[in-house]
Amino acid sequence: MYRSHLTIAFVCCLLLSSCKHKQAPPPMPIPVNLFTVKARPVVYYDRYTSTTAALNQVNLFSQVQGYITGIFFKEGSHVKKGEKLYEIDRRIYESNYNAAADNLKVEEGNLKQAQQDADRYEYLNNNQAVAKQLYDHAIITLENAKNAYKSAAEAFNNSKTNLNYSIITAPFDGTIGFSQVKPGDYTTPGQTILNTISSDDPMGVDFLINEKQLLYFENLQNKKDQPSDSLFTLILPDNSVYSLTGKISVIDRAVNSLTGTLRIRLVFHNPKGSLRSGMSCVVRVRNQDSSPQLIIPNKAVIEEMGEYSVYLAKDTVMMSSADTARTAHALEGNHGLFAFQKKVQPGVTIGSNVIIKKGIREGDKVVVEGIQSLHNGSQIASSDQRPSGKTGTQPVIK
C-alpha cells in the first residue's frame, strides 16, 4: 500500500514537470485586407439641405364683395398672365356702371349747355348789352357744370373699376393651387383668400451656409469665368440628379446672430415644371480644390464617442504612453505586421469612400476588412486590396 502511494506521487511529479516546460502555442495572426493610401485628384461635392422657393408667389383676394359665380381654371395647372380665374356676381356692378355712364352723358350735356351760355353772355357783356349779374351767374353755372362733370367721370371710372374687379385674373405666369372657394361662396374684399399662385420658371432654391463660408460663396458669385456646368447641381427628393444646373441669384444681406448662418438662393430653369415650390432637396456645390486628396474606403473608419480612427498596418508598433506594459510584452518576439490604431480627421464622404484630412500619409496601409477582431497591437496577416468601385456613387478620380 505504501509502495503504491509512492508510485502515484512519482507519476504526478513527472506530469507536473512536463507541463511546466511545455509552452503555449503563439497566437495566429488575424486575417485582414489592406488598402494602400495614395493621393489622387478627385471631384467631390459639398452638400447642403435646401428647399425650393417660388421667385414670385401671391395669395389671390377679391377687391369687391359678392358671390362666386364662376371658376375658370383647373386646379394645379399652369396659367398665363391675364388669364380669367374667378368671376364674382357682376349684376350689381354692371348696373352701377351703366348708371354712371348715363349720368356722365347727362353731365356732359349740361356742361356743353353751360359753356354755350357762358360764351354768349361773355360776348354780350363785352358789348355792354346785358346786365352784369346775368353774366356772373352764367360763369358760376359753367364752373358748377365742370365740377359736376368731373364728379360724374370719377363715379364712372370707379364703377368701371369695380366691374373689372369682379373678374379675377392671373397676375403673372405660374402654377395655381387648390381653390379655397367654391361657386356660391361669398367673398369679402381683402379677407377671403381665393387661391395661391406661384411662378415656376425659373425656380429658386434656398439653403443655409455658415458665416465662415460667406467669402467663398461671394467669390463664386463674382467669378465671371466660372463654367456653369456642374458647379451647382440639385438632388431631388427621389435621389435623382436634376438635369439642369443653377447659379447664385441672391446672398442674404445679413447673418443670423443666433445661428451664425445666412441664406443663399440659387436659380434653376424649370421648363418642364419638375420643381415645385416647397420641395426638400439637396444642393451639391462642386469643390474647387484641385489638389490631390487622400481617399480610403469608408468602412475602414471607426467612430467612437465622436472621434474617428483607422487601423494602420506596421511591421513594428510605436507604443504610446497610453499603451500598457502588458501589450508591449505580448509583442516581444513576434515578427510580421501589427495593427496600430490612429486617430484621423475625415472629410467629405464620396459614395463608399471618404477623404481623410489628417492622421494618415500617402503610402500608409489601412485595414479595411477584419477590423472587428482587432485591438491595438494585434498581429495581422494580409495582402493589399483596393475597393471594388462598383457602387453607384463613386468619386471621380483623375
* Model confidence pLDDT, tens digit, residues 147-190: 999 999 999 999 999 999 999 999 999 999 999 999 999 999 98
Amino acid at 308: Y
7: confidence class by pLDDT, cuts 50, 70, 90: low
**Which pLDDT value is given to residue 220?**
83
Residues 6+ positions from 108 with CB-CB distance below 8 Å: 149, 152
Alpha helices in the chain (DSSP H): 2-21, 91-126, 132-165, 214-222, 325-331
**Which pLDDT value is given to residue 58?**
92
Peptide bond into 202 cis (omega under 30): yes
Classify residue 130 as exposed, middle or buried by CB count within 10 Å of its CB (0-12, 13-18, 19+).
middle
pLDDT value at 45 more than 90: no
CB 276 within 8 Å of CB 263: no
Share of the chain above pLDDT 70, in %: 82
Task: Cite the beta strand spans of 315-389 per DSSP E.
Answer: 337-350, 353-358, 365-369, 379-384
C-alpha torsion sign, points 63, 64, 65, 68: negative
**pTM score of the predicted model:** 0.61
CB 351 within 8 Å of CB 392: yes
**Which pLDDT value is given to residue 12?**
58
**Which pLDDT value is given to residue 327?**
44
Q: Average pLDDT in the 197-202 region? A: 90
Q: In whole angstroms, how far apart are CA 129 and each of 134, 135, 160?
A: 11, 10, 46
CATH of 46-54+200-286 given 1.10.1660.10, 2.40.30.170, 3.40.50.10890, 3.40.630.10: 2.40.30.170
Q: What angle do the packed helices 91-126 and 132-165 form, to 10 degrees?
A: 160
Residue with cell 447642403: 48
Q: What is the DSSP letter of 279?
A: -
* Grid cell listed for 202: 425659373
CB 245 within 8 Å of CB 229: yes
Instruction: Compute the distance between CA of residue 177 and CA of residue 180 in angstroms, rounded to an integer.
Output: 9
**Which pLDDT value is given to residue 153?**
93
Helices and strands (DSSP H and E) totals, the chain: 5, 25
**Which pLDDT value is given to residue 138?**
85
3-state secondary structure of 330: helix
Instruction: Compute the distance between CA of residue 73 and CA of residue 360 in angstroms, rounded to an integer.
Output: 63
Instruction: Give pLDDT tens digits for 60-84.
Output: 999 999 999 999 999 988 999 999 9
Q: Average pLDDT in the 21-45 region? A: 76
Q: What are phi and psi of 226, to 5 degrees?
A: -75, 125
End-to-end CA distance of the chain: 88
Q: In whole angstroms, how far apart are CA 143 and each of 80, 157, 254, 279?
A: 47, 21, 58, 63
Instruction: Give pLDDT tens digits for 215-262.
Output: 888 888 887 655 555 688 899 999 899 989 888 889 999 999 899 999
Fold exhibited by the domain 91-165: Helix Hairpins (1.10.287)
Residue with cell 489638389: 291
Instruction: Give pLDDT tens digits for 275-288.
Output: 988 899 999 888 76
Instruction: Give pLDDT tens digits for 114-130.
Output: 999 888 888 888 888 77
**CATH numeric code, 30-43+291-397:** 2.40.420.20
Fold exhibited by the domain 62-87+167-198: OB fold (Dihydrolipoamide Acetyltransferase, E2P) (2.40.50)
> Closest Cα to residue 177, out of 293, 6, 66, 60?
60
In DSSP terms, 302 is beta-bridged to: 309
Fold equal for 30-43+291-397 and 62-87+167-198 = no
Instruction: Compute the distance between CA of residue 18 and CA of residue 74 in angstroms, rounded to an integer.
Output: 96
* Grid cell listed for 47: 452638400
Instruction: Give pLDDT tens digits for 343-388.
Output: 999 887 877 888 888 888 888 888 888 888 888 888 888 754 444 4
Give the largest Cα separation in the chain, rounded.
179
- Domains of the chain, residue spans: 30-43+291-397, 46-54+200-286, 62-87+167-198, 91-165
Instruction: Give pLDDT tens digits for 282-305.
Output: 998 887 666 788 888 988 898 888
Instruction: Compute the distance between CA of residue 379 and CA of residue 383 in angstroms, rounded to an integer.
Output: 14
* CB atoms near residue 298 (< 10 Å): 16
Instruction: Compute the distance between CA of residue 331 and CA of residue 340 in angstroms, rounded to an integer.
Output: 12
pLDDT value at 100 more than 90: yes
Residue with cell 415645385: 276
Q: Average pLDDT in the 191-217 region? A: 91
